[in-house]
Structure 1
Amino acid sequence: MTVTTRITTPFGRETTAQDVLRGVDLTGKRAVVTGGASGVGRETARVLAAAGAEVTLAVRNIEAGESVAAEIVAGTGNAGVAVAPLDLARPSSVAAFAAEWQGPLHILVNNAGLMAVPELRRTPEGWEYQFATNYLGHFGLTLGLHFALAAAGAARVVSVSSNGHVHGSIDFDDINFERRAYDPWGAYSQSKVADVLFAVEATMRWAGDGITANALHPGGIHTNLQRHVDGPDVTPEVRETLDTYPWRTVEQGAATSVLLAASPLVEGVGGRYFEDCNEALPYDPSRAAENPDTVGVSSYALDLDVAGRLWDVSREMLAG
């Protein structure tokens, strides 16, 4: 049995993304951040640009993206911030983005996502919407950009997952909720455990290309992600959870993404899951009860057999 050493850093829960890259020069590096027009993606893009990287915001709302890009340019003095259209739930949009990309890509941050969509939604292909957006679209995007990542020589892929992955598994017999009853949180957890499994398998398959991939929990942050669960109609139980949850700032929430994207402290590290800027400990329900935001990583999410099977099934889904 191979024994690996847990990766730890001097950073933690209170660290900001700016703290992580203080003194790091990313001049000459090129990055793509999906969902870069708001929330954690916006801060991730801003800090990468502040360190000198050329950053592309891959977004559905071009107008919002251009506004954020202008703010980043003005605030960092880095004119190399671009905006490109990307709808992760539409394979044609994903393919078009990859086809338009020219040259190497050093950093890909698969950040965009949805959480707990209350009613079952499907893409035209019949894919459940959270799985399609949070995972399958990013899977297709990363495959489409493989040539660019390989050309970079030592590229990093960052897969933004969630602590909710610990409640998830892949129902290979009914991924798209065609036979089982739709559950908003079950669908979310399935998509987020898929994000971790993707990082595991991508690192295994692409090691020869110098590509590493890691997954992470950014922490609980008040962003648009909560729009389906933080409204006036939430149950008292959910309201109590929201009111007592150990939230963090967007600046802190982007720290682990930025660490995995660009810090020299994790150079060459791949196939792992991080939280609070450190590799996560194994999931422990008792520890999770003490801190519901930092719960560890499930053994299922790191299972090599499941990761390989999901990769093959995902390729089949995209192939139609």
Structure 2
Amino acid sequence: MTLIATPFGATSTAAEVVAGIDLTGRSAIVTGAASGIGIETARALAATGASVTLAVRDIDAGRAVAKDIASTTGNSAVSVARLDLADVNSVDAFVADWSGPLHILVNNAGVMNSPRTFTPQGWELQFATNHLGHFALAAGLHGALAADGAARIVVVSSSGHGSSPVVFDDLFFARQPYDAGRAYGQSKTANVLFAVEATRRWAADGITTNALMPGGIWTNLQRHWDPAALAATKAYVAAAGLAVKSSEQGAATSVLLATWPALAGVGGRYFEDCHEAEVVGAIVDGVHGVRDYALDPAAAERLWEVSVELLRVARAG
């Protein structure tokens, strides 16, 4: 299969990607849009004329961002809605309040390397937030996405998926010692597997789904890192001359997958630096490539079925 290349690259910004694209009359949702690349993803989508909903935990922060986006883009159709992806009831309430077709869903929110924490359902927090919450959101909004006829789901994954496949026999570290990095890794692998299976199941509804690695960016996502480890990593990156993206550059691949006309009908793939990534045996330099287990159709189908059952039990309880 030929990998998809685009005119954009690692240094392209979200604004450059959407230049000339008109999505007036279309609706978009961006989760985690009150900080980091979520803000710039929402800003770029608003610049196309789309109506954009910022799905956030902190309503006050979301309102401040919405005001700024409306001011910088001239698009007043920027709204804020509360969404806590670790809370199934919050996800269901968000879905219940949504009305009308949905053209773009950007599953951007995430938590990284958090301390050993579990939701009331017993789900490990990173898997619950990064995968299960977004899975419930997309499934709940399926009717709205199908009503659009050409909807796109964009899933922000990470090169961190290279640290672990989905460990189906011990998703929530009941038997193995908790490792924050591996927990994050399997949640990011789950993001890619979701894109694979959602495309298989929903392409007939005109819905396509792709996953991506935004690039190396210093944002609030690293808030759970040990301060000394974070400082050492930043020093190493600077000394090695490794590229660090701005939030505007980090949002570019998300926005590309959400809007670029040439990607109509394309799904189930993993992108980085605005191009489709190659399958690798290990993540190169901790950044580039996608592992084969993240694109495995059998694992993708199994994850879907497991996710449906976990949500069924949670709602029944």
TMscore range, shorter length: over 0.9
What is the alpha-carbon distance in structure 2 between the residues aligned to residue 156 and residue 127 of structure 1? 28
Correspondence for 1:34 among 11, 15, 31? 31
Task: Give 5+ residue unaligned stretches, structure 1.
Answer: none
Following superposition, the deviation at residue 316 of structure 1 comes to 0.5
The counterpart of 2:122, out of the listed 122, 126, 137, is 126
Pick from 285, 293, 296 the counterpart of residue 300 of structure 1.
293
Once superposed, which parts of structure 1, at least 4 consecutive aligned residues long, lie more than 2 Å away? Answer: 233-246
Is the contact between residue 161 and residue 185 of structure 2 (CA under 8 Å) also seen in structure 1? yes
Provide the residue aligned with 2:192 in structure 1. Answer: 196
User: 1:240 Cα deviation (Å)?
Assistant: 4.5
SS class of match (1:71): helix
How many angstroms apart in 2 are the aligned matches of 1:284 and 1:15?
27
Q: Which amino acid aligns with 1:47?
A: A
Preserved CA contact (<8 Å) 1:61 1:85: yes
> Do the aligned partners of 1:59 and 1:86 also contact (CA within 8 Å) in 2?
yes
- The one of 74, 77, 87 aligned to 1:77: 74
Supply the distance in 2 between the matched residues of 1:319 and 1:275 (Cα, whole angstroms): 34
Per the alignment, do residues 314 and 79 of structure 1 end up closer, same or farther by CA in structure 2, a change over 3 Å counting?
same
TM-score under structure 1 length normalisation: 0.94
For residues 132-151 of structure 1, the aligned pairs below 5 Å read: 132-151=128-147
Counterparts in 2 of 1:247 and 1:239: CA distance versus 1, 3 Å: closer
Q: Distance in 1 between matches of 2:220 and 2:54?
A: 17
Superposed, which structure 2 residues align to 1:10-159 within 5 Å?
10-117=7-114, 119-159=115-155
Q: Does the CA-based 8 Å contact 2:281-2:292 persist in structure 1?
A: no
Where in structure 2 are there 5+ consecutive unaligned residues?
none
Q: What secondary structure sits across from 1:261 in the alignment?
A: helix
Distance 1:224 1:210, change over 3 A: same
Distance 2:172 2:302 in 1: 16
Report the alpha carbon displacement of residue 5 of structure 1 after superposing the two structures with TM.
2.5
Q: CA deviation at 1:313?
A: 0.3
Over the matched positions of the two proteins, sequence identity in percent amounts to 59
Alignment of 1:220 onto 2:220: no
Deviations 1:265-304 (A, max 9, x none): 211110000000000011254x813xx43x1111000000
Question: Secondary structure of 1:33's match?
Answer: strand
Q: How far apart, in 1, do the equivalents of 2:219 and 2:82 lie?
A: 21
1:283 alignment counterpart: 280
- Distance in 2, matches of 1:135 and 1:261, equals 19
**8 Å CA contact 2:100, 2:144 repeated in 1:** yes
Deviation digits for residues 118-168 of structure 1 (CA, Å, limit 9, x no counterpart) = x21000000000000011100000000000000000100000000111222
- Does the C-alpha gap of structure 1 residues 270 and 68 become closer, same or farther in structure 2, counting only changes over 3 Å? same
Contact 1:35 1:113 in 2 (8 A): yes
For 1:288, what is the secondary structure of its paired residue?
coil
In 1: Cα distance, 2:264 partner to 2:111 partner: 29
Alpha-carbon spacing, 1:23–1:130, altered in 2? closer, same or farther (3 Å): same
Whole-angstrom CA distance in 2 between matches of 1:123 and 1:168? 21
Q: Distance in 1 between matches of 2:255 and 2:229?
A: 33
Tell whether 2:177 aligns with 1:181: yes
The separation in 1 between residues aligned to 2:260 and 2:226, in whole angstroms, is 33
Question: Which residue of 2 is the match for residue 168 of structure 1?
Answer: 164
Q: Aligned equivalents of 1:167 and 1:266: distance in 2?
A: 29
Alignment check: 8 A CA contact 1:166 1:283 kept: no
**Residue 204 of structure 2 corresponds to residue 208 of structure 1:** yes
Q: CA deviation at 1:319?
A: 0.6
CA distance in structure 1 between the partners assigned to 2:222 and 2:31 by the alignment: 18
Tell me the residue number matched to 1:260.
257
For residue 234 of structure 1, the aligned residue among 229, 235, 240 is 229
Q: Distance in 2 between matches of 1:40 and 1:230?
A: 22
Separation of aligned partners in 1, 2:127 and 2:166: 10
Q: Over the residues paired in the alignment, what is the CA RMSD in angstroms?
A: 1.4
1:171 deviates by 1.1
Q: Report how many residues are paired.
A: 311
CA drift of 1:238 comes to 4.1
Match 1:273 to one of 250, 254, 270 = 270
Q: Equivalent residue of 1:18, what SS?
A: helix
Distance between the aligned counterparts of 1:83 and 1:235, measured in 2?
32
**TM-score of the superposed pair, with normalisation by structure 2:** 0.95
Q: In the aligned structure 2, how far is the partner of 1:235 from the partner of 1:194?
A: 25
